[in-house]
Structure 1
Amino acid sequence: MADLLTPALLPTTSWLRLPAHHAWLGAEGLELLNFSKNSKMPAGFGPLDLEGNLPNDAEPDGILTARMTHAYALAALQGIPGTEPMVEHGVRALLGPLRDHEHDGWLEAPSAPHGRKQAYYHAFVALAGSSAVRLGVEGGRELLEGSTAILERQFWSEDEGVMRESFAFDWSDEEDYRGANSNMHSTESCLALSDVTGDRKWLNRAQRIVTRFVHEIAARHGHTMPEHFDRQWHLLRDYNIDRPTDELRPFGMTPGHFMEWSHLTLKLEAALLRADGIAPDWMLRDAHGLFESGLKYGWAADGQPGILYTIDWDRRPKVPARAHWVQAEAITAAVNLLKRTGHRGYEKWYRTIWNYVDNVLIDRKKGSWFNEVGPNGTPTETVYPGKGDLYHAYQSTIAPLLPLAPSLASAILSSDAL
């Protein structure tokens, strides 16, 4: 069993059974895809401002380029015109100006050849490569093989069962840090790599990462996810206390990541069930616990709707901005739990969060979603400026209609739901 397998097994009143909801998801996905084409630059993709334009000083962003390449590959696999050329463009950029041809690995921007090499970024490059291979675009195999070689040689720590965090541009000076965020996205990448390469070691690595972070760390902390550790696995409670709005490593804890870990745990469980017929019984329990903690400490924690960005160690609101990606990941977590269990409570939250996105985050004047809003729904740029890229929002429009396993690109190829 991978999940309930088909929305047809859910009650007839479930949104997942309703053709109008399917049409709404498809239409919203197309809006996101079309809007994001403005981010194309000669050497990759760049960040858009609130108007949906590239700022005058914009430059290609490697992380964004990898994520856009992956998202457009998902769209191209669905047969959406105009998206495959965007994938080809992204692959060329990642193999060209965004690749470090001297030291290997990837540059976060062509103008930053001496920037640090981050596991977070390289996980997305591997994800983009796996999706490009599924699509069959030129250069996809080279991108996949190059990125997996880097993950193997530089980032994977066999002794710890996690990804190392970062290195200097020449692969010296390993950072004294172990982070939940980079390992969370590495889990997603490992699941996709397992599907595309057929190599079981990637599934095993996803299981080792999730076991440490979800079943050991989060479970010990009441199904909340501490994010910052040193290389000896001491919790860094004051990490970035002076930078609470950091966009990747904020102080405290991030309820949106509770949600993201929740649905990735379910996807891992489904992948193990498909492969072996068995999976650890804690996976569903821990996925449920993380989702419930995300709601308890994140949703309307300051009296206003939406899931806020961060909480402190007393689990009180810290940064109240409502980031778009947080709501998108909560949608995916709710719908994956719904498909896994059929419980009507998850249907309620799936609807509630989509209603919030539709009424508050979707920008019907300029397009796409606001990257973040304040508690009262007014667009802000406290943490995330401009408009977000496709990655989180677009996946939230297609995940509801796909099984929990295999990973999204592989599921699209084997599904008639999209």
Structure 2
Amino acid sequence: MNIWPTNPHHRGWLSGERTRLIEFGLGQVPDTAGARWLDERGQVDPSRPVPTWLTARAVHVQSLGHLLGIPGSRPAAERGMRALTGNLRDAEHGGWYAAVGVDGVPDGTKSAYAHAFVVLAAATATVAQLDGAEELLDEALSVLDQSFWDPAAGMHVDEWDRAFTELSPYRGINANMHAVEALLAAADALEQPRWADRAAVVAGRTAVWAEENGWRVPEHFDAGWTPQLDLNADRPEDPFKPYGATVGHGLEWSRLLLQVSAATAPDYAPTGELGEVSQQLYRRAVDDGWHADGAEGFVYTTDWSGKPVVRRRMHWVAAEAIAAAAALHRATGDDTYAVDYSRWWDYTAEHLIDRVHGSWHHELDEHNRPSGQVWPGKPDLYHAVQATLLPVLPLTPGPAVAVRDSLWVARAQANRYIQP
């Protein structure tokens, strides 16, 4: 049987696709104002603001590009860093704006989602040895810790006003999910395991909610952390807070739980508690989301019985399916996950990869035709790049340190490495 995740020819293909994606994004940060929204042809859309989360993702990706030896990535990452330490940073009240508009006026919302990505960007840039990165990481971790971490809940709150005086009653899983990834990256970059331990607290709380909800992760909560399962039922296509179960988040959590377990367990065992939860989340997401309406692809969301709600196909969901299947194959050695992995890549190659204009189509309709109702253009490389990188790296350390230290995985087992 040809096991794709460990096939050397496939590994070469991943390398080529990874380089193609990263090079597509080199022009996304043309100056020190931050990352721009790109259209279907990869051109800057001047009508859109500069978001902090998108700039941070660009810094993360281009810092990885620098570690991978891709020319042009370091300057692009440095320009993004200048935005994170410049116009996107609130020098008066601390933290980072949600975005800066085309008119230069900032959106003063302070969201845990954006701050988590600043931590991730700074951690990867620290490993890549960009000037000022470690200082930025220290500051971002301090804000995430002091302004967003709720120790009583073991979770991060979601959104403040600009001055950090008024806290929204909404609580969300999405920001906490990305905080887990960011905290793992920070633990690696600074060699401070306490941040990975905090990621484990968030992951454990989420695992309990998922099990109580039939392995469909509740996304929205009130101020007391009671799930609000009907939130946004009247606007189910919301790009950040959609109604129902988000299939891609079940897949993303599946991979993250394995990484948390590997990073925090002294004697990592893939069949341990989080490993079992990972497999349950993966199977539920695949059973609910894949081919759910008769056509190939993962639907965006389902209701709480698993019935499709938004049938559009998002590129990031396929990317997370690839990463989760690779992680589970690495952790368990079960070739069922390798079969899935090859299936998800076949779908991606046939429908998502744009070989004419570059990158991946970010959204397809229910017939797998390019669309843009929820996610127009091609602003994001983060998920796709990681789909080409995570399958050839260990579960721990994270991608930045693993690339820096050439910890390329040779076999399905979690921590057996080869030189590239």
So what's the TM-score if we normalise by structure 1?
0.94
Q: Residue 342 of structure 2 is aligned with which of 344, 351, 355? A: 351
Q: Look up the match of 1:87.
A: 77
Q: Look up the match of 1:64.
A: 54
Secondary structure of 2:309's match?
strand
Query: Cα gap change, 1:279/1:368 in structure 2, threshold over 3 Å: closer, same or farther?
Result: closer
Q: Residue 400 of structure 1 is aligned with which of 376, 380, 391? A: 391
Q: Residue 212 of structure 1 is aligned with which of 205, 210, 213? A: 205
Greater shift in the superposed pair: 348-357 or 43-52: 43-52
1:7-406 mapped onto 2 (5 Å cutoff): 13-42=2-31, 43-111=33-101, 112-214=105-207, 216-273=208-265, 275=266, 281-406=272-397
Greater shift in the superposed pair: 361-370 or 58-67: 58-67
- In structure 1, list runs of 5 or more residues that go unmatched: 1-10
Residue correspondences, number:
405
Cα-to-partner distance string for 1:232-280 (whole Å, 9 max, x where unaligned):
122212211222111111011101000000000000111123x465799
Contact kept in structure 1, 2:261 and 2:268, CA below 8 Å: no
Larger RCO, structures 1/2 (Cα 8 Å, 6+ apart): 1
Query: Cα gap change, 1:279/1:174 in structure 2, threshold over 3 Å: closer, same or farther?
Result: farther
Query: Cα gap change, 1:363/1:280 in structure 2, threshold over 3 Å: closer, same or farther?
Result: closer
Q: CA deviation at 1:132?
A: 0.8
Secondary structure of 1:196's match?
helix
Contact kept in structure 2, 1:370 and 1:388, CA below 8 Å: no
> 2: CA distance between counterparts of 1:24 and 1:272?
32
Q: CA deviation at 1:414?
A: 2.2
Secondary structure of 1:383's match?
coil
Contact kept in structure 2, 1:300 and 1:306, CA below 8 Å: yes
Q: CA deviation at 1:57?
A: 1.8
Query: Cα gap change, 1:280/1:397 in structure 2, threshold over 3 Å: closer, same or farther?
Result: closer
Cα-to-partner distance string for 1:203-241 (whole Å, 9 max, x where unaligned):
111111011011x10011121101101111222122112
Contact kept in structure 2, 1:113 and 1:169, CA below 8 Å: no
> 2: CA distance between counterparts of 1:150 and 1:139?
17
Secondary structure of 2:99's match?
coil
> 1: CA distance between counterparts of 2:181 and 2:267?
19
> 2: CA distance between counterparts of 1:224 and 1:381?
26
Secondary structure of 1:318's match?
strand
> 2: CA distance between counterparts of 1:48 and 1:30?
18
> 1: CA distance between counterparts of 2:300 and 2:380?
18
The amino acid of 1:21's aligned partner reads: H
Cα-to-partner distance string for 1:359-418 (whole Å, 9 max, x where unaligned):
000111111100010121110112111114110000110111100001111111222535
Q: CA deviation at 1:169?
A: 0.8
Contact kept in structure 2, 1:269 and 1:280, CA below 8 Å: no
Contact kept in structure 2, 1:66 and 1:94, CA below 8 Å: yes
Q: Look up the match of 1:6.
A: none
So what's the TM-score if we normalise by structure 2?
0.93
Contact kept in structure 1, 2:98 and 2:107, CA below 8 Å: no
* C-alpha RMSD of the superposition: 1.5
Contact kept in structure 1, 2:394 and 2:407, CA below 8 Å: no
Contact kept in structure 2, 1:67 and 1:128, CA below 8 Å: yes
> 1: CA distance between counterparts of 2:276 and 2:340?
18
The amino acid of 1:103's aligned partner reads: H
Contact kept in structure 2, 1:369 and 1:388, CA below 8 Å: no
> 2: CA distance between counterparts of 1:113 and 1:364?
36
Q: Look up the match of 1:8.
A: none
Q: Look up the match of 2:416.
A: none
Secondary structure of 1:303's match?
coil
Q: CA deviation at 1:16?
A: 2.7
> 2: CA distance between counterparts of 1:64 and 1:338?
30
- In structure 2, list runs of 5 or more residues that go unmatched: 409-419
Query: Cα gap change, 1:160/1:35 in structure 2, threshold over 3 Å: closer, same or farther?
Result: same
The amino acid of 1:240's aligned partner reads: N
- What percent identity do the matched residue pairs reach? 39
Greater shift in the superposed pair: 216-225 or 30-39: 30-39
The amino acid of 1:284's aligned partner reads: G
